[in-house]
């Protein structure tokens, strides 16, 4: 037993009863003892990496104890106390760190990078900041469900320099979301001291700029942490709003164990060691005769035994045996496609009307479907796709957003965690870059990592031919088709757009839904008036022939149709892919086996596009059937220019006819 000295922290036990005080102590002791054990195992090479939260336990424990178990917490890498206070069985935590099956990620992600719906914890992705926006989404779900719950999310002071922090606080404030942003200011972000991280006095000062109440708490004082958060939580439950809390504390060990603390002045570490949240609280409890040596020993023994037996259980568990099938099966949540056959009544619609009608009917079918985007409510969106939606579905479900693609995609992820579907409108597909990280790292990887679906559709008004220059004309599907976990849909006709959008919304996986702006008002078709669906992964044959297979999608479909209509002597299979991920490989391969020639037309510039992958697929699977090399036709390897004659020169359209004829004479 350590010697009992006088407490360096001034505690005021207020109305807390002994039982609660002891529980606070026990809950801090548990992560401390686990960490001490982990440090030994680390030295023995039995754990891979360790981010220490020693000295910061009062924050994790105080916040978690102040919340109801049904309220979500989104912790970071030093918040072991959140996991232990929520009473996750220790052997499961150990299995997680050892990459075993009884962990939470089937060995696919390490340390605290996992979530668990069982314990209402959503763990981080390495990028830190996205947690904050995801918390917004969970808080929004709570608000919409009117369940009175709040959400707590953590960040280090380093993480607050990321744009996600700004965006998340701003959205939470504008939407009055019930979320507590907990910033653990522990002096260093890796090796970067606070004076190189931010230039205001306190992180809490930033609350004012966002219109958020903020507080500074002594993060090493468990009573202050717990009671203040509890009080704020009660208030937020009654009057939903965000609150920012800066907890002053210190990171006493290295960023991660291997990196050491050479750059931290020794005196600083000593100063904070003297403010240890557990030692001081122990002294206080002893001085008040609430904790006795006997109880303390019993706590220590109980926790240590639990650690040892749980470690034995974890070590005894066999290693995961790699199975390609198991891995591939978890990239997407399984989805039973439900076929809704259209009725006979049709109406001529432009592509834009078909998307609008499809979206509206999905809003009617899925009563909890939320749509979010810039200017989509009263204004109806810049393309007017959501015109009139606000009147029919109300402000809760048709949400104007600030200009913050990252936070909104993260919010959509949070809604999905809470069982709410959403559709996010990018004003232009080009702007998805500002939300790229959460798309490719959060939405795409969640199901594979911890079986959490990202039930989100991102609508992407894209494409050139509209004289809009490099930032309003891109067709950027290839950024996403290469990322496992995403589905990519790219219709060319009103009928397909309506049916595929319905499927995209039914599908619980993240879908990037491309809508070509140049086709919005130029392409018309008779479309069933009722709700209907079209399955993913089924290409459409628009023409059938024997001499060549033309493979394309989006605007390319219309360019190819025009060319083939002008050259009726060319006997071609014309394949409209409709969805790029999943890709209808069978349709492509079977057609090329028949025709012996293939030309792939894409609007995007050539390198790294879908055409290249399809070409490679044909070389691998159809080589013996080919009478000519596979031909790719794409736009120039430049950004897409503005003025008409430059854009025309850039576009693949102008090159297609010659390339097709050359291929036929090979
Ligand atoms: C986007 C991104 N940039 C850099 C890193 C590398 N990195 C991981 S943790 C960290 C420091 C984080 O500091 P802070 O947010 O203060 O948390 P602390 O580690 O101090 O608890 C850095 C730079 C990262 N994980 N993600």
Residue 144 vs residues 140, 348, 386, 621: alpha-carbon distances, Å: 6, 36, 20, 51
How far is the centre of ligand 1, averaged over its atoms, from the C-alpha of 424 (Å)?
28
pLDDT value for 45: 85
Q: What is the pLDDT of residues 435-488, one digit of tens each?
A: 999 999 999 999 999 999 999 999 999 999 999 999 999 999 999 999 999 999
pTM for this one?
0.98
68 DSSP 8-state letter: -
Give the total residue count for the chain: 666
Quickly list DSSP for 569-603: T--EEEEE-SEEES--HHHHHHHHHHHS-EEEEEE
* Alpha helices (H) in 288-426, listed in sequence order: 293-316, 324-329, 351-365, 389-393, 405-417
* Of 156, 192, 257, 440, best ligand 1 pocket probe by most atoms within 8 Å of the beta carbon: 156
Q: Is the CB of 157 under 6 A from ligand 1?
A: yes
- Round the CA-based radius of gyration of the chain to a whole number and report it: 29
pLDDT value for 46: 83
- Point out which residues pair with 528 in neighbouring strands: 346
User: Per the structure block, which two tokens stand in for 503?
Assistant: 């499927």
Span of 4-18, 53-67, 466-480 with lowest mean pLDDT = 4-18
CA distance 634 to 654: 10
The average pLDDT across 155-171 equals 98
Question: Residue 84 in contact with residue 31, Cβ under 8 Å?
Answer: yes
Question: Residue 539 in contact with residue 600, Cβ under 8 Å?
Answer: no
Quickly list DSSP for 205-251: GHHHHHT-EEEEEETT-HHHHHHHHHHHHHHHHHS---EEEEEE---
Question: Residue 517 in contact with residue 385, Cβ under 8 Å?
Answer: no
Q: What is the pLDDT of residues 486-501, one digit of tens each?
A: 999 999 999 999 999 9
Question: Residue 634 in contact with residue 604, Cβ under 8 Å?
Answer: yes
Residue 361 vs residues 181, 355, 609: alpha-carbon distances, Å: 37, 10, 33
User: Per the structure block, which two tokens stand in for 8?
Assistant: 């360096």
Question: Residue 425 in contact with residue 371, Cβ under 8 Å?
Answer: yes
* Alpha helices (H) in 418-536, listed in sequence order: 436-437, 444-450, 478-481, 494-506, 517-520
Question: Residue 413 in contact with residue 446, Cβ under 8 Å?
Answer: yes
Q: What is the pLDDT of residues 80-124, one digit of tens each?
A: 999 999 999 999 999 999 999 999 999 999 999 999 999 999 999
pLDDT at residue 258 above 90?
Answer: no
Nearest alpha carbon, ligand 1 atom 22: 190
**What are the backbone dihedrals phi and psi of residue 323, each rounded to the nearest 5 degrees, phi first?**
-140, 120
Question: Residue 71 in contact with residue 123, Cβ under 8 Å?
Answer: no
Selection from 154, 144, 166 nearest residue 240 by Cα? 144
Q: Is the CB of 197 under 6 A from ligand 1?
A: no
The answer to whether the Cα torsion of 631, 636, 642, 643 is positive or negative is negative
CA distance 379 to 40: 60
* Of 190, 268, 438, best ligand 1 pocket probe by most atoms within 8 Å of the beta carbon: 190
User: Per the structure block, which two tokens stand in for 168?
Assistant: 């998340």
pLDDT at residue 3 above 70?
Answer: no
Look up tokens 């900041």; give the residue.
129
Q: Is the CB of 91 under 6 A from ligand 1?
A: no
Q: What is the pLDDT of residues 273-293, one digit of tens each?
A: 999 999 999 999 999 999 999
Give yes or no: 166 in active site.
no
Cα 436 vs. chain centroid, distance in angstroms? 10
CA distance 241 to 428: 31
Q: Which residue of the set 113, 472, 516, 558 is catalytic?
A: 472
């Amino acid at each position: 037993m350590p010697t009992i000295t006088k407490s360096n922290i001034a505690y005021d036990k207020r109305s807390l009863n002994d039982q609660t005080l002891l529980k606070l102590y026990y809950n801090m002791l548990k992560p401390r003892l686990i960490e001490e054990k982990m440090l030994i195992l680390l030295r023995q090479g039995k754990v891979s990496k360790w981010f220490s939260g020693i000295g910061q336990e009062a924050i994790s424990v105080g916040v978690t104890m102040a919340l109801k178990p049904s309220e979500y917490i989104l912790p970071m890498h030093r918040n072991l106390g959140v996991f232990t206070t929520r009473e996750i069985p220790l052997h499961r935590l150990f299995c997680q760190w050892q990459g075993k099956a009884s962990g939470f990620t089937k060995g696919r992600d390490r340390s605290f990078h996992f979530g668990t719906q069982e314990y209402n914890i959503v763990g981080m992705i390495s990028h830190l900041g996205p947690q904050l926006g995801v918390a917004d989404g969970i808080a929004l779900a709570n608000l919409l469900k009117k369940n009175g719950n709040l959400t707590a999310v953590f960040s280090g002071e380093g993480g607050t320099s990321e744009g996600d922090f700004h965006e998340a606080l701003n959205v939470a404030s504008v939407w009055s979301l019930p979320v507590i942003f907990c910033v653990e200011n522990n002096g260093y972000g890796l090796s970067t001291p606070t004076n190189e991280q931010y230039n205001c006095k306190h992180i809490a000062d930033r609350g004012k700029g966002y219109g958020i109440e903020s507080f500074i708490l002594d993060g090493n004082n468990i009573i202050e942490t717990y009671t203040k958060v509890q009080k704020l939580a009660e208030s937020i439950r009654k009057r939903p709003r965000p609150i920012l809390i800066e907890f002053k504390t210190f990171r006493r060990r290295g960023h991660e164990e291997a990196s050491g603390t050479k750059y931290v002045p020794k005196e600083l570490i000593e100063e904070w060691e003297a403010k240890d949240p557990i030692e001081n609280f122990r002294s206080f409890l002893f001085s008040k005769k609430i904790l006795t040596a006997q109880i303390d020993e019993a706590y220590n023994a109980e926790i240590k035994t639990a650690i040892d037996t749980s470690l034995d259980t974890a070590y005894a568990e066999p290693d995961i045996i790699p199975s390609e099938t198991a891995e591939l099966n978890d990239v997407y949540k399984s989805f039973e496609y439900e076929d809704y056959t259209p009725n006979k009544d049709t109406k001529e619609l432009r592509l834009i009307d078909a998307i609008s009608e499809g979206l509206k009917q999905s809003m009617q079918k899925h009563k909890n479907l939320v749509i979010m985007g810039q200017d989509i409510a009263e204004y109806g969106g810049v393309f007017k796709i959501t015109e009139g939606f606000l009147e029919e579905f109300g402000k809760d479900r048709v949400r104007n957003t600030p200009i913050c693609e990252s936070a909104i995609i993260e919010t959509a992820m949070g809604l999905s965690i809470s069982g709410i579907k959403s559709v996010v409108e990018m004003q232009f597909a080009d702007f998805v870059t500002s939300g790229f990280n959460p798309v490719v790292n959060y939405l795409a990887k969640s199901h594979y990592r911890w079986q959490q679906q990202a039930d989100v559709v991102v609508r992407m008004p894209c494409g050139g031919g509209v004289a809009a220059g490099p930032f309003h004309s891109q067709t950027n599907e290839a950024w996403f088709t290469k990322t496992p976990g995403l589905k990519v849909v790219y219709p060319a006709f009103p009928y397909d757009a309506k049916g595929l959008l319905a499927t995209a919304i039914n599908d619980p996986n993240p879908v990037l839904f491309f809508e070509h702006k140049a086709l919005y008002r130029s392409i018309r078709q008779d479309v069933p008036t009722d709700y209907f669906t079209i399955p993913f992964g089924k290409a459409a044959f628009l023409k059938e022939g024997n001499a060549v297979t033309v493979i394309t999608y989006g605007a390319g479909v219309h360019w190819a149709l025009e060319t083939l209509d002008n050259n009726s002597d060319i006997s071609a299979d014309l394949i409209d892919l409709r969805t790029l991920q999943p890709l209808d490989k069978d349709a492509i391969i079977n057609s090329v086996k028949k025709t012996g020639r293939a030309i792939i037309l894409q609007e995007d510039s050539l390198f790294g596009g879908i055409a290249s992958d399809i070409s490679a697929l044909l070389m691998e699977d159809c080589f013996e059937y080919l009478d000519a090399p596979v031909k790719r036709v794409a736009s120039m390897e430049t950004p897409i220019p503005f003025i008409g004659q430059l854009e025309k020169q850039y576009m693949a359209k102008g090159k297609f006819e010659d390339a097709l004829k050359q291929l036929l004479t090979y």
